[in-house]
């Protein structure tokens, strides 16, 4: 059984309500049918029930139990506008502005989650990430005790590309452009928690750099060294190594040459990238060259589950993101 199959089975015990707001996209409708057939979540689509039911029927899912939330419902709009006003009036938002904002599907969806009409959201197939993330932060907010919202991709490899493992976490590939050492340590801390508690993995963490074992003296290298030190002092439930180059993090022969004094045994299964440039480029390179499935970005640190898709996502990637989101709801 794969990791994702195990997570799907786990979600079936709860079958949370997952809102897919972008119901005008055929990929989303096909994903809704697939998810409903598998039964690990109750899909809720945003839009007119009669129109969407016809579209679902055309995708072969006419008999499935799919929910609908009408974003043009005036009573819901009024309720959500009031909720948004109460949440944002302290920053100068007035009720008329709130009424305008709830006409946006992304805002309406976040308010549906905040009001407990659904348990989680997966969006971003046609909505820009900045819009998804900014609305999530403003409306859902940061989880209690969280210092930073970050993200990870679960990279899933087929049987021809499993030299370094079946699954590897890449973080942060979507949120933090140039994190400080303290922020980088917080990203690693959150990803370790996700690996342990959400995915059931035993994390072996590599804090990546263009230098191994401080072989070069640069500000960027010092940042990763300090972040590694912060993580190690926290006594987190994970093996951690850093500063380390990617080849040393994955290949024990390379690691023994570049960092002979370490007790870390490659390969790492959690890769923490020093900047968003590195993380975003890195996951897309791996995805395109190896055909790996990139599940995510999965957001960490929000008060409720919201996950953002890549606009180039496939139906399968939408389904897999919902699998993980459903587990975040439990």
Average pLDDT over residues 40-65: 88
Q: What are phi and psi of 62, to 5 degrees?
A: -60, -30
pLDDT digits (tens, 9 = 90+) for 64-113: 889 999 999 999 999 999 999 999 989 889 999 999 999 999 999 999 99
Question: Which CATH number characterizes residue 194's domain?
Answer: 3.40.50.10750
Question: What is the residue whose two structure tokens read 């996700």?
Answer: 194
Residue at 70 is within a domain: yes
Question: Which CATH number characterizes residue 323's domain?
Answer: 3.40.50.10950
* Same domain membership, residue 324 and residue 284: no
pLDDT digits (tens, 9 = 90+) for 280-298: 999 999 999 998 988 988 9
Residue 61 pLDDT exceeds 80: no
* Same domain membership, residue 260 and residue 206: yes
- Residue 169 pairs in a beta bridge with 154, 270
* Same domain membership, residue 101 and residue 52: yes
* Same domain membership, residue 280 and residue 315: no
What's the CA gap between 175 and 271, in Å, rounded?
15
* Same domain membership, residue 208 and residue 247: yes
pLDDT digits (tens, 9 = 90+) for 136-157: 999 999 998 888 999 999 999 9
* Same domain membership, residue 279 and residue 223: yes
The residues near 225 (Cβ < 8 Å, ≥ 6 apart) are 214, 242, 243
Enclosing domain of residue 80: 3-141+302-328
Which residue, 99, 86, 45, 94, is CA-closest to 68? 45
Percent of the chain with pLDDT over 90: 77
pLDDT digits (tens, 9 = 90+) for 144-192: 888 899 999 999 999 899 999 999 999 999 889 999 999 999 999 999 9
Residue at 26 is within a domain: yes
Residue ranges of alpha helices (H) inside the chain are 3-11, 26-38, 49-58, 74-88, 95-101, 105-114, 129-135, 181-193, 219-233, 246-250, 252-258, 276-290, 315-328
* Same domain membership, residue 221 and residue 316: no
Average pLDDT over the chain reads 92
Q: What are phi and psi of 270, to 5 degrees?
A: -130, 115
* Same domain membership, residue 174 and residue 94: no
Residue 57 pLDDT exceeds 90: no
* Same domain membership, residue 118 and residue 10: yes
Domain count, the chain: 2
């Amino acid at each position: 059984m794969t990791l994702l199959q195990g997570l799907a089975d786990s979600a079936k015990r709860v079958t949370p309500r997952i809102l897919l707001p972008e119901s005008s996209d055929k990929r989303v409708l096909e994903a809704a049918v697939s998810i409903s057939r598998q039964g690990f979540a109750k899909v809720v689509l945003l839009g007119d029930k009669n129109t969407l039911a016809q579209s679902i029927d055309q995708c072969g899912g006419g008999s499935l139990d799919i929910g609908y939330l009408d974003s043009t419902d005036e009573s819901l709009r009024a309720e959500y506008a009031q909720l948004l006003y109460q949440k944002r009036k302290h920053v100068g938002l007035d009720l008329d502005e709130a009424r305008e904002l709830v006409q946006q599907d992304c805002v309406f969806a976040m308010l549906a989650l905040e009001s407990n009409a659904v348990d989680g959201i997966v969006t971003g197939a046609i909505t820009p990430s900045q819009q998804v993330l900014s609305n999530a932060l403003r409306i859902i907010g940061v989880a209690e005790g969280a210092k930073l919202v970050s993200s990870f991709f679960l990279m899933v490899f087929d049987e021809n590309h499993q030299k370094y493992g079946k699954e590897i976490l890449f973080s942060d590939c979507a949120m933090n452009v140039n994190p400080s050492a303290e922020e980088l340590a917080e990203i690693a801390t959150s990803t370790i928690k996700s690996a342990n508690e959400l995915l059931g993995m035993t994390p072996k963490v590599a804090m990546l750099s263009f230098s191994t074992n401080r072989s070069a003296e640069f500000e960027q290298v010092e940042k990763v060294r300090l972040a590694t030190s912060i993580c190690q002092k926290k006594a987190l439930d994970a093996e951690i190594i850093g500063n380390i180059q990617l080849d040393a993090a994955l290949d024990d022969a390379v690691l023994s040459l570049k960092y002979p004094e370490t007790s870390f045994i490659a390969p790492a299964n959690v890769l923490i990238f020093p900047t968003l440039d590195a993380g975003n480029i890195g996951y897309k390179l791996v995805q395109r060259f190896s055909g790996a499935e990139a599940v995510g970005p999965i957001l960490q640190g929000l008060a409720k589950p919201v996950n953002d898709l890549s606009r180039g996502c496939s139906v399968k990637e939408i389904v897999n993101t919902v699998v993980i989101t459903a587990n975040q709801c439990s």
